[in-house]
Chains A and B, each alone.
Chain A
Amino acid sequence: MKRYFDVDGGKFLIRFTIFVFSFFLFHPLIILAETSETVVTGGLSKQDINRGKRFFMGLLPFERNHESCVSCHYINAPDTLNWNPSAMDIALKFAGKDTAAFRQVVMEPSGRVMTASHVNFDISNEDLHTIKVYLDHLAVTGPGMQKPSINRLLLFLLLGVLITWALLDLIFFKKVKYKFIPVLIFIGAFGYQLSMLYEEAVKLGRSQYYQPDQPIKFSHKVHATDNQIDCMYCHHTAPESKTANIPSTELCMNCHIVVREGTHSGRFEIDKLVQAHDEGRSVEWVRIHHLPDHVFFSHAQHVGVGKLDCAQCHGEVEQMHIVRQVNDLSMGWCLECHRETQVDFVDNDYYKTFEALHKELASGKKDSIVAADIGANDCAKCHY
């Protein structure tokens, strides 16, 4: 499963070094593994698989009136939102079924979305069979790793080259007439490298902008904005408990017992939920917002007592098709908010205990009480 994770820069540097080491160590093994892969499991012929793959990718047939399969059903997750089931999704769904069933779904689409896109399909049975064979193979092997982007690493290396050149020129070649040029280049490049390292080091262990694929393409935008469902309908324990509650399968089925086709994704995604419900299991979501074990955060305190809006920490989730972690959830971010957020000091009788602060308010020494004034930034408020 691909994660939209900012994987680059410093962390990647280290990983690159390790890769170089392990490459030399394991290279012979990799070659061995590649040669042994000619044997294909499940009695599928390699030829069929390749043909199916080519067909899926749109390389076959040469002339056609419809889109290629891959143009809608991606093999490796793209950067843009794609509502259609991926090749892997389809592969898994039809893994245990025969070509006839596969054919029926492809050629005689039932849902609204699918009917609209599967028009003018003219695929021979033989071709469908090879596609099925390819997908069955995919179901076993998986889509394979995607190459991570290395822009930041390249920049880092480029800066390194510049530094080397500047140093070499300063010490040995002395070709540049004005010494300040290599000195400036050295200082600039080295400074930028340092700042890159610092940024990466700070980000280590944090996952701002983390946006993983979920097992079901669940859109908060469709639910919370388009259909105006309140956050608290599903996350109903937020005002009273530490955790905000992820809705149980049963709760989803309150609506989806009726709603069986989505605006964007058609039936495929909702079918996954229905299947989970029929099989009596929970959907295993990928967790996005996660604090370390030594941090105790309570939704009840922030939502129930503090009356904070969900969006203050989670961003505008109701506008997201795929949920993404907006804030870095770092301690500095928490403390900053505590320094700014005013406490409902007058209406909530609990705060009567803080007599000294009430006096300060009355005397005008303070014009408002923020969370940090009542000790929200003490260590033991979150770490115990």
Chain B
Amino acid sequence: MSEENKYWHILEEFEPIKDVRNPKGREEVVSPTSRRNFLKVLGLGTASAALIASCKRPVEKAIPYFIKPEEITPGKAAYYASSYFNQNEFCNVLVKVRDNRPIKLEPNPKSVITPNGTSGRVQASVLDVYNINRYQHPKKNRETIDWETADSEIVSQLRQLANEGKPVILLTPTIISPSTKKLISEFTQTFNAEWHQYDAIPMDGWREANNRVFGTNSLPEYHFEKADCIVSVGCDFLGTWLSPVEFSGQYSKRRDLFNGDGNLTKHYQIEAGMSLTGSNADMRIRAERADYGRILAYIYNQMASQKGVSSNDAPTPPQEITQKLDKVISDLAASEGKSLVVCGDNNPDYQVLVNNINQLLGNVGNTILFERTYNHFQGSEKSLETLLNSNPGAVIIWDVNPVYNHPESDRIKAAIEKAPLSVAISALPDETTELCQYILPSPGYLECWDDAEYKSGVVSVLQPTLHKLFDARQAQESLLAWLGDETSWRDTIKNTWTADYFPLQNEQNDPDRFWVETLKKGELVVDATPVSVSLNSNEIESSIQKINTEKQADGITVELFENINIGTGHGPLNPWLQEVPDPVTRIAWDNYASVAPSVARQMGIQNGDIVQLGNLTIPAFVQPGQAEKTISIAVGYGRKKGIPEELITGVNAYPLAKVKNGFRLFTSSGLNLTKTGGHEEMALVQGHQSMEGRPIVRESTLDKWKENPAAGNELHEEIKHHHTTLYEKHEYKGHKWGMAIDLNKCIGCSACVLACNTENNIPVVGKKETARHHEMHWIRIDRYYNGEEENPEVVRQPVMCQHCDNAPCENVCPVAATNHSSEGLNQMAYNRCIGTRYCNNNCPYKVRRFNWLDYTGADAIPNNRFDPANMTLDLSRMRHNPDVTVRAKGVIEKCSFCVQRIQEKKLTAKNEGRQLEDGELQPACQQACPADAIVFGDLNDPNSKVSKMMKDPRNYHLLEELHTLPSVGYLTKIRNKS
């Protein structure tokens, strides 16, 4: 750790306040032992002893297939190419199917869009299929009916409405499927219907701005990997904005000092609340949310005057910001055509400024390309307005939930209730489906046929990997049925592909062959005609004028943002997503109002104190780096309808959004912050895992690194000289597995945590247990702050079992349940563990997890079960990875370096009679990482990438002064402060 960096991890360290996180502590588990309880236990004990004594081995059946499908080998996984799309997330994936059940999603390495990794949400989405809350039958007024009745009733009503000339409205999320679009247009023609697309968090303002400036409302491609200087104004492009998985890969390419040429990007983030992207920035400038417009106007004016373009009068932002902005502007000017300015606001006027700045910098055509434009975010507020005003005869709502996530949900509710016919097509119950007469269940995406054109000219297919679990039907199949078309939906897609895409390629001559090959690859890239751009810089004046007239309201501005895991409101139903802590605040299972430390101190607010903001009551969280007059709240929480009680968490913040000039804006100003006196315990996972004052994350700056590649890591050499040991050295005659993590590339998105959850059957423990620090994740991403609490620098570090050669845990296990393997793994035999937890106590990294309760249902005794999120139901258990033991109560578990994958890949190599190739073997975390920050391999092979990284001067080990000799190495974080 360099001298100037003093790390702290939660705000309490700056100003010690009473620890209120767990007031009652351990007492909760102690129940009074009464005579009655004693007798109960005695009875149960006797009964179970008798049962165990008298039970013979049960007769087990071995039931083979009737006809064994050729492509299925029992005990072996098959992979199918498919795609995931939801709002701002698109990933080409390979679905791992074991014995007919999809159990894991892996990135498709051949994809042109997301070859490196996936997001955490994609990883978790496999659980959505096995959700017990899904609709299981079609319903009419809450009564189960059959499909034929539903179809005939709906069609006759639709026909009648069409004859009467009453509008039929089809409300969908953004549809990027070319086949579905075709089908919808057929449907709209036949039934005289109107089709509207709706996004929970729209980008119509930005599309409008592009229309004004570039003459096209397309969303262009952004190339972060080509930008030397990135300036982001409140834009979380690594977390949630536009195409985060893709951008993470691009961004991390330019943070790579191991493979790269040392030409780091310079990333400025100007923002009010601490976002994931902001916490990764080289320089973060704290600004009020209300100042974004003026900041953009200032940058534009400065750029314009440098270029000799006429500037417009605009109020300047506060002086402490303009001082910092001058440096930003000079850096931008120095990297003309190789920079990017982005803004995450849906205000078209802001985006007009951003477009003009990029234009002035010559970025359009270089880092911003209109060649392959994005097809998602088609929803527009104006479209929704027509729905509300048109007095529709029928509303067909397909997988959108505006009643929950629109600020004027009452109007929407009224419109749906008023319509003579309302039909909801949805997999899961929600606030909107509850209002509809007909509910038509749709299957999960892993049970569907579909196609997707995310970027123009990059077309993907989705194929089912599971027989439909319930009596569900795809929305497209419903439309086909209503149109009286008897072609299956799969054939419809195939026909579209044969007609539209087959002629565009020349690899295959036979349409059937072409279809099969596309299914194998999952993706087809065809030429796309670039969108022509005609520049119009006249708009700038009116935009600046509008920013000039922005009221500077007194009081607090609330900014709403999308949490990287929970998203716009789908996440709460997925317990994995709920349990992964927010990468910045490290709070799971809740949303909260982030308050600046100075404000909190002034008002006496502590973490978890309930505050009032307008109509919203919400717990507060003291967030370093938060702007004083801005409070940030995540949307997506507070779902109440159609969600099991134990998963209802947080507060719905959507009502604070505003519709202004026909665009939905996710800010609200002029609010007052008051304390209500209440308090709520939040599941804050960091604080108990503090690595007090020790050189845990080492960092330096680019300039110093250029002089000395070991800058910031001087300790590593020093400690090496002190290494001495009484223990014998392990001998590794074959493999020696190791992992290197580049802290400069890790963005903290938590995809690795969720991938690990899926791969290793990690249990969900629920909010209460998480708050007591009983979470079970095998990998965690520690976050440390450095510097002033007003605007600290943030560092992150993924920590999993370090597989030490001198492992402190191994020496203390009384039953040798954890010991060292001949390949350098610190192995853990669950069936040998007796739960003393000595290992846990002796682990300096605190990476061992104890099963305090039976979270998985693996115990023989049903009364032991603790299941806060329906994860032990047979349905949820269907997605367990059969290659990993499901752990019972009372045993320790921890990262195994995905030993099941090591075994599998070694076996493949042995069977093929060849050596393992470097990079062939990837643990789940590495595979999912979109930023390519984790590298795994054989340290005995001097040519492997991990060996080379371990020899890099930046490499160090966690707490290496303890001489634990970890197999995990970290490369120092290097900030570009030049």
B726 within 8 A of A: no
With A240-B911, A284-B61 as contacts: A353 and B885 at CB distance below 8 Å = no
In the complex, the answer to whether A287 meets B62 with C-beta atoms within 8 Å is: yes
In the complex, the answer to whether B916 meets A350 with C-beta atoms within 8 Å is: yes
Binds B, one of A149-157, A257-265, A292-300: A292-300
A15 within 8 A of B: yes
Q: How many residues of A contact B (CB 8 A)?
A: 63
**Least Cβ–Cβ distance between B758 and chain A, in angstroms:** 16
Contacts of B913 in A (CB 8 A): 347-350
Digitize A1-32: 1 where CB-to-B-CB distance is under 8 Å, 0 elsewhere. Answer: 10101010000001100100100000000000
State in angstroms the CA–CA spacing of A380 and B912 once bound together. 23
State in angstroms the CA–CA spacing of A292 and B831 once bound together. 10
Interface centre among A287, A294, A374, A379 (most CB of B within 10 A): A379
In the complex, the answer to whether B66 meets A237 with C-beta atoms within 8 Å is: no
A147 within 8 A of B: no
Question: Which residue of chain B has its CB nearest to the CB of A21?
Answer: B50
In the complex, the answer to whether B734 meets A354 with C-beta atoms within 8 Å is: yes
With A249-B66, A384-B884 as contacts: A15 and B73 at CB distance below 8 Å = no
Candidates A15, A248, A287, A378; contact of B60 at CB < 8 Å: A287
In the complex, the answer to whether A242 meets B67 with C-beta atoms within 8 Å is: no
Candidates A285, A298, A374; contact of B822 at CB < 8 Å: A374
Contacts of A241 in B (CB 8 A): 73-76
The B8-36 residues at the A interface (CB cut-off 8 A) are none
Question: Which residue of chain B has its CB nearest to the CB of A252?
Answer: B64
State in angstroms the CA–CA spacing of A207 and B900 once bound together. 27
Candidates A285, A296, A348; contact of B900 at CB < 8 Å: A296
The B869-893 residues at the A interface (CB cut-off 8 A) are 883-886
In the complex, the answer to whether B67 meets A248 with C-beta atoms within 8 Å is: yes
In the complex, the answer to whether B896 meets A384 with C-beta atoms within 8 Å is: yes
State in angstroms the CA–CA spacing of A285 and B61 once bound together. 6
Digitize B596-632: 1 where CB-to-A-CB distance is under 8 Å, 0 elsewhere. Answer: 0000000000000000000000000000000000000
Task: Decide if the interface of chain B is mainly helix, strand, loop or mixed.
Answer: loop
Contacts of B899 in A (CB 8 A): 380, 384
In the complex, the answer to whether B896 meets A287 with C-beta atoms within 8 Å is: no
In the complex, the answer to whether B76 meets A242 with C-beta atoms within 8 Å is: yes
The A240-255 residues at the B interface (CB cut-off 8 A) are 240-243, 245-251
With A300-B911, A305-B910 as contacts: A240 and B76 at CB distance below 8 Å = yes
Contacts of A373 in B (CB 8 A): 733
Contacts of B59 in A (CB 8 A): 1, 3, 212, 286
In the complex, the answer to whether B67 meets A249 with C-beta atoms within 8 Å is: yes
With A7-B56, A285-B61, A357-B733 as contacts: A248 and B66 at CB distance below 8 Å = yes
State in angstroms the CA–CA spacing of A354 and B822 once bound together. 11
The B33-73 residues at the A interface (CB cut-off 8 A) are 50, 53-54, 56-57, 59-68, 73
A383 within 8 A of B: yes
Binds B, one of A71-79, A90-98, A275-283, A333-341: A275-283
In the complex, the answer to whether B734 meets A353 with C-beta atoms within 8 Å is: yes
Binds A, one of B121-129, B329-337, B404-412, B901-909: B901-909
Question: Which residue of chain A has its CB nearest to the CB of B76?
Answer: A241
The B666-714 residues at the A interface (CB cut-off 8 A) are none
In the complex, the answer to whether B885 meets A294 with C-beta atoms within 8 Å is: yes
Question: Which residue of chain B has its CB nearest to the CB of A246?
Answer: B64
In the complex, the answer to whether B75 meets A375 with C-beta atoms within 8 Å is: no
With A281-B66, A305-B910 as contacts: A245 and B60 at CB distance below 8 Å = no
State in angstroms the CA–CA spacing of A251 and B64 once bound together. 10
Question: Which residue of chain B has its CB nearest to the CB of A207?
Answer: B57
B825 within 8 A of A: yes
The B711-752 residues at the A interface (CB cut-off 8 A) are 731, 733-735
**Least Cβ–Cβ distance between B850 and chain A, in angstroms:** 18
**Least Cβ–Cβ distance between A165 and chain B, in angstroms:** 29
State in angstroms the CA–CA spacing of A364 and B731 once bound together. 19
Question: Which residue of chain A has its CB nearest to the CB of B941?
Answer: A353
B940 within 8 A of A: yes
State in angstroms the CA–CA spacing of A347 and B912 once bound together. 12
**Least Cβ–Cβ distance between B781 and chain A, in angstroms:** 24
A356 within 8 A of B: yes
Contacts of A300 in B (CB 8 A): 907, 911
Digitize A352-384: 1 where CB-to-B-CB distance is under 8 Å, 0 elsewhere. Answer: 111111000000000000000111001111011
In the complex, the answer to whether B821 meets A350 with C-beta atoms within 8 Å is: no
In the complex, the answer to whether A375 meets B909 with C-beta atoms within 8 Å is: no
Candidates B53, B66, B823, B828; contact of A250 at CB < 8 Å: B66
B535 within 8 A of A: no
A177 within 8 A of B: no
B829 within 8 A of A: yes
A304 within 8 A of B: yes
In the complex, the answer to whether B821 meets A284 with C-beta atoms within 8 Å is: no
Candidates A18, A210, A212; contact of B53 at CB < 8 Å: A18
Candidates A5, A243, A248; contact of B56 at CB < 8 Å: A5
In the complex, the answer to whether B68 meets A378 with C-beta atoms within 8 Å is: no
**Least Cβ–Cβ distance between A326 and chain B, in angstroms:** 17
The A80-111 residues at the B interface (CB cut-off 8 A) are none
A290 within 8 A of B: yes
State in angstroms the CA–CA spacing of A1 and B58 once bound together. 12
**Least Cβ–Cβ distance between B918 and chain A, in angstroms:** 11
B660 within 8 A of A: no
With A3-B59, A242-B75 as contacts: A350 and B910 at CB distance below 8 Å = yes
In the complex, the answer to whether A294 meets B910 with C-beta atoms within 8 Å is: no
**Least Cβ–Cβ distance between B818 and chain A, in angstroms:** 9
With A285-B61, A350-B914, A353-B940 as contacts: A243 and B733 at CB distance below 8 Å = no
Candidates A239, A249, A293, A383; contact of B829 at CB < 8 Å: A383
Contacts of A304 in B (CB 8 A): 911
A319 within 8 A of B: no
Candidates B53, B75, B825; contact of A14 at CB < 8 Å: B53
In the complex, the answer to whether A383 meets B64 with C-beta atoms within 8 Å is: no
In the complex, the answer to whether B60 meets A375 with C-beta atoms within 8 Å is: no
Question: Which residue of chain B has its CB nearest to the CB of A354?
Answer: B734
Interface centre among A280, A283, A347 (most CB of B within 10 A): A283
B538 within 8 A of A: no
**Least Cβ–Cβ distance between B2 and chain A, in angstroms:** 38
A301 within 8 A of B: yes
In the complex, the answer to whether A248 meets B906 with C-beta atoms within 8 Å is: no
State in angstroms the CA–CA spacing of A36 and B967 once bound together. 72
Contacts of B50 in A (CB 8 A): 18, 21
With A282-B65, A353-B916 as contacts: A240 and B73 at CB distance below 8 Å = yes
State in angstroms the CA–CA spacing of A73 and B647 once bound together. 60
State in angstroms the CA–CA spacing of A237 and B912 once bound together. 16
Digitize A220-248: 1 where CB-to-B-CB distance is under 8 Å, 0 elsewhere. Answer: 00000000000000000101111101111
B830 within 8 A of A: yes
The B89-134 residues at the A interface (CB cut-off 8 A) are none
With A240-B73, A248-B65, A354-B734 as contacts: A379 and B819 at CB distance below 8 Å = yes
B827 within 8 A of A: yes
**Least Cβ–Cβ distance between B965 and chain A, in angstroms:** 19
**Least Cβ–Cβ distance between A379 and chain B, in angstroms:** 4
Contacts of B903 in A (CB 8 A): 296, 298, 381, 384
In the complex, the answer to whether B73 meets A237 with C-beta atoms within 8 Å is: yes
Candidates B54, B75, B825, B941; contact of A15 at CB < 8 Å: B54
Given contacts A250-B68, A384-B896, 13 further A-B contacts (CB under 8 A): A18-B50, A207-B57, A242-B75, A247-B64, A250-B65, A283-B63, A305-B910, A353-B916, A354-B734, A380-B825, A380-B827, A383-B829, A384-B900
Q: Lowest 5 A-B CB distances belong to which pairs?
A: A242-B75, A375-B822, A380-B827, A243-B75, A287-B62
18 example contacts (A-B, Cβ-Cβ < 8 A) are as follows A245-B74, A250-B66, A282-B63, A287-B60, A300-B907, A348-B910, A350-B910, A350-B912, A353-B734, A353-B940, A357-B734, A374-B734, A375-B823, A378-B823, A379-B819, A379-B828, A380-B896, A383-B831
Residues of B within 8 A of A (CB): 50, 53-54, 56-57, 59-68, 73-76, 731, 733-735, 819, 821-823, 825, 827-832, 883-886, 896, 899-900, 903, 906-907, 909-916, 938, 940-941
